[in-house]
Structure 1
């Protein structure tokens, strides 16, 4: 990795940490950059997951005020996220690399669609509705499924979680987003631990993403409510489509 490429990965980590805290699709920024500097898809995904753990922690801490009163809920749903993240990580490591290369373009396109429909999800979250305090078995199952997706690839798992939590909990968007950050952190953490133990992690890439995303997590928490969401969505979708084009061209 050259100095210029390393700087690009660092900046991508910064953007991803910010986007993850605000939107939840930071992998669509870092993953294509790692591909562009020459990493194979599986190593890029593994190293990216390890690095983004620190950004997820930073974003969750930045939203700690909105977490007040959600401890019991997050303990329950956190179990689903941990189990899902572990399941997704195992799938990534056990399926042949060719399967990952075939599945990822579809996952990126799905993530782009999720980012595009986020305004509808946000409006749905804002509507008053009556639900269980913890969302019931349906939310537990949905969070587990989102965790599998997050452990396997992860792009836009935050958008998935916002949709699930918003539909099945009676909370405002900011508290939903705070809970989303914690659950995504748990998914990233358990899959990252798995990858560190049994997979090949490129520590240079992971370290650069960790530094950038940690700063980005705080930035996202500070300015997330003020950033124009249309610009963020347009940027993420553009990067995602570029990643699909590059993957299909390989």
Structure 2
């Protein structure tokens, strides 16, 4: 039976949710851009040892009963048993899982935009044909300009609808997964960690207010030490940066 989105406050339980900013942005699309499918960093979903050390220190500080992470868009499979965060939380004896919109809901919402996608692809094909036939961009061609404008209008409308799912809809689904896990964990006073993209903090904060959940936010402060980077690359990795 398909999972249904339902947000209900916890009964007889008090939850404090610690939102932790992910090390890198966690992007999401209905269709992953072609240029990212071959991107090494995108596919590896790397996590630095410094970030893992930070999470470990936050585990020590907050002593959570469970933890979740926003599922990266590039992962179409189940949680990898060797994934660093899972290994860390397992070592600490903390239940860990991913939070994301259900597959059925995503497919349903995506199908509503099929017509937009097809029209955009057909218009892009027509634009390429006109440019090829002209040998360049036909800047003074009224028909060409109208086609380009129409494509831009369609793309903007598509992006607006995708953004609605990217944030508001997915945040509701992620919050439901957090609540469901909290219901499974024993105890009246619980603490949970949710690692996610910083762009979700405001939306999730509004949901926690409506659901009577206490919240605390942990945002990252990033610094780049170029001297240390040069030392690692040149001495440890044998890469000349000069």
Same fold, judged at TM 0.5 (above): no
Question: Between Structure 1 and Structure 2, whose CA radius of gyration is higher?
Answer: 2
Q: Counting helix residues as a fraction of each chain, which structure ranks higher?
A: 1
